[in-house]
Structure 1
Amino acid sequence: MRITLRAATALLGAALLAGTPHAMARTGSADQADSTGISVPAAAPAADPAYEVLVFSKTAGFRHSSIDEGIATLQDLGATNNFTVDATEDAGAFTGSNLARYEAVVFLSTTGDVLNATQQTAFEQYIQGGGGYVGIHAAADTEYDWPFYEGLAGALFQSHPAVQSATVKVEDRAHDATAHLGATWQRTDEWYNYRSNPRTTAHVLASLDESSYSGGSMSGDHPISWCKDYQGGRAFYTGGGHTDESYGEPAFRRHLLGGIRWVADRTQADCRPETGYQTLFSGSNTNGWKQAGPGGFTLADGTLTSHGGLGMLWYSARELQGDYSLKLDWKAAGDDNSGVFVGFPASDDPWSAVNNGYEIQIDATDAPDRTTGSVYGFKSADLAARDAALNPPGEWNTYEIRVTGERLELFLNGRKINDFTNADPARSLAQGYIGLQNHGDGDDVAFRNVRVKQSGPTPGPRAGEVKGVNGKCLDVDGAQTADGTKIQVWTCNGSTAQRWTVADGTLRALGKCLDVSGGGSADGTRIQLWTCNGTGAQGWTPQADGTVRNPQSGKCLDASGGTWNDGTPVHLWSCHAGANQKWTLP
């Protein structure tokens, strides 16, 4: 049954991509608002193909009074979302033939040893055959001596403080279990501490802010909900659900529904472990980003949504060099057009990215080399793999763009769908900037959580003198550290006022950054020392001709005037590669 239903889901996605009339697009029911004010859909975005779920709530230890509420909630969710719930406490249900009926098995606050060896083997075979597991709350207080189960659940219970309110930090807002939530989620529950941290073996969806409550013991990194692919199957766990009241919260109910839908293969997500990424766009502001060309992006609810165009929002504060992995979440409203650019030089002209970089396309119904998952105009995605991994319009997807030298691998919701190698000597994937396209009126595509991980040799911080015209050094006037301090050229003297650090696309001295006053772009704009803030006013990129360019303005660091004495100020000026614009960095 699992194979048939999953194939039906893939065919639905393929039909949407093939240009099925929009009347078949997924639509949601009316939203409900929970006590936190979060807008929560009462049901999944569309009717999924029908399936069956087994809810197992046997206890051999502490029994939660909320189990009855949990069963009723899961049955209610099933009634409104096209799945049937069978609830049991009979471990005899764990046979190969019986488990084959179900797309998901929910362990609802089970405790202790609940399955014998034969039943454990049947469940292992079910997961290895592509089955789904959902663990709720005390599912982590179960089967301590069964290594397979510990790996499936992700972590096991250690202790808990009293029931209290805490702040949940939502780390992944693309997964169906958490996409409806804000960046934080305030709720009351019994918050488990776990014997191990699952972050290295599972994808963390949400974690606890241990400073927001008493009794957390996981050293500040406290996952509370996660997902993972496991031995051929899928596993989702949430630490919530101790209290009866939990099951009346629309946001928590939608959280459970999303977990069930994912393990039942009704929605897709990247559930590979994720560590070491640096945030380029977190949702709170667009510091370091700059719009090129017409149109733009609206920022609301931690989400950038495109409008107008053709333009591009590009990350001007940092050029990516060497090997890296770029991840971001995106959602198309319908048959919309957008893309992600990589490997292009600094420019305020969006066509520079088109002509000098590569675009990873987002577009449901174009030609194979110009549709979702393609390297636009160069290579189509593996369409069968793409269709199986793709969520339809209205639901979030995750791209990973992995660059190794001149090779680009593209992963959609954790599945590899394209593999392209640059052979154009005029282009390079090994260095350049990244950007998000706003294609035009009516093309509404949203982005969240843009992050990057440098995974190969990259330039590290370098410190020393910055030498310019007549061999003089870039100098902080009087070694002062106040915001607005003048930057000048001065005879090199080895002082701290002339010691600059090149790191992450900035030039730093005395703990502050080289800054274009007011983020200006006019010739003659003052260059000063200022508190580092990640904006484009503090981005500097060395060029092959010896100039140092501020990508936001497209202009160069320039020693002013025609004679250059000690104390001559530097300013911003149109690039011309004259002697007073050439600098040697550490």
Structure 2
Amino acid sequence: MFPKGQEKTKPEIFVMGNRNPYRISVDQKTGFLYWGEVGPDASNDDALRGPRGYDEVNQARKAGFFGWPLFIGNNYPYKAYDYTDGKNGEAFDPKAGLNNSPNNTGLSTLPPAQPAFIWYPYGESKEFPQVGAGGRTAMAGPVYYSRPGASPYPSYYDGKLIIYEWIRGWVKAVTMSPEGDYLSMEPMLGEISLAAPIDMELGPDNKLYILEYGKGWFSKNPDAGITRIDYMAGNRPPIVKNLEIEKTSGLLPYKLVAKVDATDPDGDALTYVWNLGKGIKKTTSSPELQHTFAKAGEYAISVQVIDKDKASSKSNTVTVYAGNEEPKVDIALTGNKSFYFPGKPINYQVLVTDKGAAVNKSRIYVSNTYTEGLDMAGAKLGHQQATQSLLGKAIMLKADCSTCHKISTKSIGPAFTAVSSKYQTKAKAADYITSKVINGSKGVWGEVPMPAHPTMKASDVKEIAEWILTLSAKSTTGPSLPATGKIVPPAETNKDKSVLNLKATYSDLGAAGLKPLANTKVINLRSNIIYANDIKDISDFGRKDADGVQSLIFPEKTGWVKLKGIDLTNVAAFNFGLANADADYSVEIRLGGKDGEVIGKQGSASTGVSISPVTDGKFHDVYIVVKAAREDVKDRPLLKSITVKPI
């Protein structure tokens, strides 16, 4: 990078500006250097200091400066900071970064910074969506080339860079141009589950060897090991996606109805060997099975799918319960089933049926909480049903939680049981844990920080948190609300906790030799104030951010906003929170589409729109269609919020 003898330099430096280079490889044909770069933990951009953290995969075709600590990712600049007075300066210039540290013994003006080859944050990446979201530890593997007499993989992979992720567990093949420019990325080994891949090399046989660290940190992981990747040319085993059970519990005789989603990549006919637990097996040529259990018990159901050449794959395992049927829980509401209105009572009644047993009302638990809002595109308003403990655990297993946590033993992060014990007596513990997971945390359980998970839905994280809180022997819950009663929302809505979760759980007493079964019903009612940043379905509206608040810019001529799947029971009008004086737009409220039935209209957006009563109790897609009254609208209004007004 620097010629021998240049003042304040060292000739042996090939690349500089690295933060934490991890896993390095050299393209054996081009000589290009590749390495993973583990970035800082910041989850969000900071207007005063600079960009959020990114992990990188870097490519050095020649010697160069790769940015740190002045730049990150695609040469995103940090800002100068004076530690003597705490003041921020200007953003650094990638063409001529300045190192004026009193500890610097080298050049003050640095060479031009080289951007990362691939870069991604904790959240989803717009540039590289294939990498996903979550914790991150980027690693660069080899560039593969077939060799005479040693070509274990198809020539399709010739010249592709193989990259991998320790935390996220994926392996990707990167296609490059002949010059080495990035072209595309695709999954590699997508059907193989790796336990924290931490190193990767091509062996003497030109095959990939992957070192798996295992899911636990600093422990003797039973899933650690070295994996060799073989390409199985010719017959391929069946692909099994999911085993579905129509009804996972029932009184005797219990009729099991099962179906497996399986295909064969070679088009072979398949045979299904069903393992019904306790040594019971059945073989079918159909992916569906019916079987009647006459003896009470807990049975683990799975199926092995076999092709004509005896290659096989096994499904997931589903536990069913014969001799006890899961209770059914419902919540009956009067009034609107999408929104709550400040100060207006919500009357509810919990309805429980338990086939084969009398309902013990003392085992009904009812609660209501206020949680973070949901956007109108992804909101699950109205009725939902799930078995609470199983739902929270299932969401946890699909996320990256198990990379750093185990249920009852310490890993790099605390055991879930320890978290449960620590926060049993903390007010609103589930909300607190939810916030820590989404925003990240450090210092609570030691030096290792927990990465942020900004792309996870708050409602999903809340389910995980509530499951965690059931794991402690100290687990307690507050007193239940009555099975029939009313909830009066506060007169003022907390914008940060705008969704009311009404939840009812019932647990039966079990049956002989069987554990109790529980079921939960959840109703989500959101605040009647819908803020612009929660509205995702728009046409010809623009978006504007000011002081951290998002607004929608009215269209030049005509456009619409869609409120998806809402109940209009007892709704009288829609009012609009506007900024800018020129609100000379007509407004129509339509059902089902931009050209659907008109239920309300008004000549000016500033006055709100009354609607005709809608009493069918159904959930409707509501379109708010606006049209400029004249051609010369200069200051288009900003829509900050929509308020649903009750009768």
Higher share of residues assigned strand: 2
TM bin, normalised by shorter chain, reads: under 0.3
Work out which of the two has the higher radius of gyration on C-alpha atoms and give 1 or 2: 2
Higher share of residues assigned helix: 1
Task: Give the TM-score, by structure 2 length.
Answer: 0.21
